[in-house]
Structure 1
Amino acid sequence: GGADIIDIITGKNPNIIGVINGTEITYTQFNQAYINELDAYRQRTGTEPAESQIGFVRNQVWEGFVQDILVQKAIQEKGLAATDHEILWRIRNNPPENIKRNPSFQNDQRQFDMAMWQSALNDPNYPDQVWLQVEAYLRQTLPYEKFQQQLQAGVRITEDEIKREYLKQNQTVKVNYVFIDPQKIADKDIKIDDDTLRDYYKNNKDEFKEEEKRQIQYVVFQTKATTKDSSEIRALADDILQRIKGGDDFGELAEIYSEDPVSKDKGGALGFFAKGDMVKAFEDAAFSGKPGETVGPIQTQHGLHIIKVEEKKTENGEEKVNARHILFKFTASRETLDKARDDAEYFAEQASEVPFKELSKNIGQTPQGSTFFIKGNGFVPGIGLNKRASGFIFSGNIGETGDVVESPQGLFVFKISGIQDERSKLFDEVSAIIKNKLKREKQNALAAMKAQKIYEKINSGTSFETIVAEDSLEIKESTDFLRTGYVAGVGREPKFIGAAFSLDVSGDVSKPVLATRGCYLIQLAQKKAFDEADFNKQKKQIASRLLQRKQSQVFANWYTEAKANADIKDFRSRFF
């Protein structure tokens, strides 16, 4: 792109994706961390990340780099380091968690066994490389632990905080309430003339500002498997099946050829599964096979599967199968991808000289067009979330063509086809919106007035039940709910819940509560008393939970401030 050429001319490194307080992050570093994070996602979920998830993963990786650099700077400024004595003490008395999770140092209950660890420490034949790795790990992590300890040294939890948290999680109330619905206020009681609407528009023009919008035309070069690609994948699956039948090891072939990221490294092992756990075509084949039999290739929405039935059993009356599989996905070949890339890049190059529509016609395509859209978070119609493409679209001129953009749908080539400048919407465009807003405000005000009159009657001595009957209102009864809970018919309405818990004596009625949906009058039916004995049982656990939460918040606050004061240059839009 143009930015890369300028960087090369000016001597800047085009491989830099960001600079944090002078520390450079290269594209190579970032991309490797990004690939690792995607691999971790696949291992956790067994699926490919959706387009919407990819942007989140990239941001997560970026934040990881920024945080690490800022923390390392703080550690250096404070002069924090791990001494040899500290490292030796930790190795002998409190080894790292990855050591504790190592099966070599765990007992039959899979718990860390200090005696086994000490035995290894005292074994002169134990590989020196292990101790060097542990030392290096602690030399890196102990300064970070010291930094956290200093940061969190002043964190304290008071008795009152513990009690409030206990009540939040344990105390319940039950109420009777009346709902005064603003929507039932008759239209004849609400007068909104044209002058009122125009006055509101004049005094609140900022509400109707519309940011700059742009429009694009684009063509897509498909990167899906062609008929030829699919035939070659089928041929490969058939060849592997014949090798298995000829005696080749299924597990070894799965590790080499399978495209299932979850089972590949386990020789394709899926473990036991019941009917309904897998897609139908797959499970039908697996359950129809005999133990030791290999079946397939079977086609599902995931691709082609060769399945080896290991064993079968019946558990609690349910039949289960233990199987392995090799997955072949219908993906485009390198030849297909290279051709799509060459065609797309040639099109993008020619589009600066030949009209977009004419060029599209020459290759048998009809260019697609977007509606006008805002820059927002980088979402581009047709392409998806792509900050690099969005950055070009909102900085270029009409008629300019962007670089080729990759997406799950294919390779996109686009040109800027329209610009709508920032503007204020005209009165006629928003008059209906203003009218509805003012109408809701008047309805809410009238509902609150009605509730206030009822409340005043209650204060004068008339019973809650008598007054609501006079006004043909319905008393509704809630079930018990917590401060963090859900109230049937009301929802998670903070104002309602707060008012309910502010009442202490059964029969007391709240002042009118104007909430999201309308106005409420709340009468306390029952409030669970504070249980001193139960509180004392839970006190230690609550305090620990609150302390962890506060400590996390202290670090989050530090990071927010450090980030705000840092010199951060973010060049990700050049690459993504």
Structure 2
Amino acid sequence: MVLSAMCLLFAGTWMVIPAVAADQAPADDKVALVNGTAISRAQFNQGVSRMSKPQPGQEQPEAKDQLKQVQAQALDALIRNLLLYQASQKAGVKIEDKAIDEQIGALKQRFPSEEEFNQALAQVPATVETLRQQIREQMAIRQYIDKEFADKAIVSETEAKAYYDEHPEYFKAPAQVKASHILAKVEEQNNADQKAAALDKIKKAQKRLEGGDDFATVAKEMSDCPSSSKGGELGYFSRGQMAKPFEDAAFAMKPGETSGIVETQFGYHLIRVEEQKPEGKVELAQAQPKIEQYLKRQKLMELVNKQVSELEKTAKIEKFLD
């Protein structure tokens, strides 16, 4: 829990501890040199540790050949990252201290106290100075990529439509219901008196509806849900967004129908279904912005990978792993 916010900062990059000039790193403490700049053993171990962490459904790599593969991938990521940072410096990208201060300030706000921030930093492990350099390098690389490649990663409407047509499975729209409700809230489920009072309240609301009172009016006057100010209106929702007894009742009704009393962990409800939308397909116009964003990111990645390959051709890279 303490580390979660700090780990977010380092997501997507392996250079947790900044690279140092070759003459500043002990000979046995570096795993590679990139144009004279050392990648330290500490950096490398961090990268291997992060890449070894299994994803959901995956097993921890234990076999020797698996470990070597992870080590090679971690070192390659570090080298590529360092090449990009060096390219950003050659291109004249400068990061102001104020921008770094703002990033650190935003990160600190995720922690209850300065002490917990420092504890998380120590567990990474990192120091404030290495964190500052890490942020500087990340920001420099981002600015370099934006400056050099963002304008070249262009996605046409034709490409977006082709992706939409070729991947219908990504653009399914689930069935939806538009409903309103009246809630008699139960704060403590194991409090029999509270439940009895809430049940009595919802029965009174139900009696008013059966007597012809308008649903929205009763909701405004009797519902304990914040939606009462809108006559109980909840808008559209699909399965998985509401408590199961609530959604089961809502999806079983037709537009214009009002449910009987439905109990959930929140209390007792009366539900009125206004409209239904069957399962369908997201329209291209709605999906296009996200498609273009995804394809642009893919193109940008291809351009960056191509640039790194060019940088590798002229770079002096020495590896010292066994």
Q: Is the structural similarity TM-score above 0.5?
A: no
The structure with the largest helix share of the pair is: 2
Query: What is the TM-score when the length of structure 2 is the normalising length?
Result: 0.44
Bigger radius of gyration among the two: 1
Structure richer in strand, relative to its length: 1
TM-score, scaled relative to structure 1: 0.26
